[in-house]
Structure 1
Amino acid sequence: MLRGLAGFAALFILGWLGGFVWFVAEAIRPAGPIPKADGIVVLTGGAGRIGAALDLLDADRAQLMLISGVSEGVDLADLLRAAGRTFEPGYADRIALGHAATTTIGNALETASWARSNGLHSLIVVTAGYHMRRALAEIGTALPEATLIPDPVQPPAMIRPSLGTLKLLSSEYTKWLLVVFGLTGAAHLREFA
């Protein structure tokens, strides 16, 4: 019995490590050409995300944009200033701020609500490369009828990897596995309770 448990543990660890290597390769892969979509959603929480999403909006890759997970009391002018951008005419009509989300699940629910209320069927999703798989899985669960187009941003931690980067990647990989295997439980219901 002990031999069987040891074999199972070894297979589990090898499977986890093999999947982790694939996950890291996917996390650092640059985006291909981004087609036009109905909307853009950017998930806050990391460097370069809002600027990358604004570049897409300015290039008319979509007409509307949601910035999900914005802290209470922060407005569009604050976000633009932090991204080193100026307030362009028309931004106020094209960019919505979501203040309700505090987690990736919350981002997904906020995105689904915004997309449905605006009749959007395709979304460019902007977040960090290491966060993209989980973001797509959560948004896809909340908004299964939409086409999701990933546009990953590579934060500085991915350019100069360290032990902290490895911990971040392994944590994000494990969280993604929990989503894939449906082990996030009722967390979807708690976000906006």
Structure 2
Amino acid sequence: MFRRFTASVVLLWAFGFLWFAVSLPGPLPASVKTDAIIVLTGSQGRIEHAVKVLEAGKAPDMLVSGVDREVRPREFAHQFRVPARLMRCCVTLGYRAYDTRSNAVEAVQWVTEHNAKSVRLVTADWHMRRAALEIAREFPDDVRLELDGVPSHPSLSTLFLEYHKLLARAALNLWEALR
């Protein structure tokens, strides 16, 4: 009995990891518009993608969550080639977040202040599921979250670590819901 249970758990874990690794969330269709963009700092391509979406008029405002406290708006604009007009009107640099959990807290405060009802979440494809889980947990029920995964080529170790972080967060959410 114990062997069957253990084998079932291992099989479930293995199929879950396989699903996680081969079906990473991709980019949103170009036609999708939202009230706001939230981009999480981290791997290459995230901010560049979000800036293109903003420039294309697919959302009027953007929060960059998790910016290092030493980065100034002018430096940010230069590094990511953000036009000055967009920096002035439409880009908020969020300095409070330091991990995915605090990204969610920072994001919900910003979304509430901006009265956004639809949000495009931009992060790396391998990070999207956990980021969306964290953020959706914090967001009010009337805010629609659209997932815009930035394609990447994560290593097996990155996928392995992120899969286990996702499982841990999902288990913690379940535990909190059952209490």
TM-score, normalised to structure 2's length? 0.90
Name the aligned partner's letter for residue 42 of structure 1: V
Residue identity (%):
34
From 153, 156, 159, give the equivalent of 1:166: 156
- SS of the counterpart of 1:149? strand
| Match status 1:121 vs 2:117 | yes
What secondary structure, in the 3-state scheme, does the structure 2 residue paired with 1:130 have?
coil
Q: CA–CA distance in 1 between the matches of 2:60 and 2:89?
A: 10
Q: How many residues align?
A: 174
Deviations 1:113-158 (A, max 9, x none): 0000110111000000000000110000010421111111123x33
Mapping for residues 39-78 of structure 1, pairs under 5 Å: 39-78=36-75
2:22 maps to 1:25:
yes
Q: Shift in Å at residue 81 of structure 1?
A: 2.7
Residue matched to 1:179: 169
Structural mapping, 1:140-159, within 5 Å: 140-145=136-141, 146-155=143-152, 157-158=153-154
Q: Structure 1 22/144 Cα, relative in aligned 2: closer, same or farther at 3 Å?
A: farther
> How far, CA to CA, are the matches of 1:66 and 1:185 in structure 2?
31
CA gap 1:184/1:92 in 2 versus in 1, 3 angstroms: farther
Runs of 4+ aligned residues of structure 1 deviating over 3 Å after TM superposition are 183-186
Secondary structure of residue in 1 paired with 2:4: helix
Render the CA deviation track for 1:139-189: whole Å, top value 9, x for unaligned: 00010421111111123x33xxxxxx1111011111111222225989xxx
CA contact under 8 A between 1:130 and 1:172: conserved in structure 2?
yes
Gaps of 5+ in 1: 159-164, 187-193
Does the Cα contact within 8 Å between 1:124 and 1:149 map onto a contact in 2? yes
**Residues 120 and 47 of structure 1: CA distance in aligned 2, closer, same or farther (over 3 Å):** same
| Alignment partners' CA distance in 2, 1:103 and 1:183 | 17
Q: Distance in 1 between matches of 2:174 and 2:139?
A: 17
Alpha-carbon RMSD: 1.9
Contact 1:77-1:87 at 8 Å conserved across structures: no
Q: Gaps spanning 5+ residues in structure 2: where?
A: none
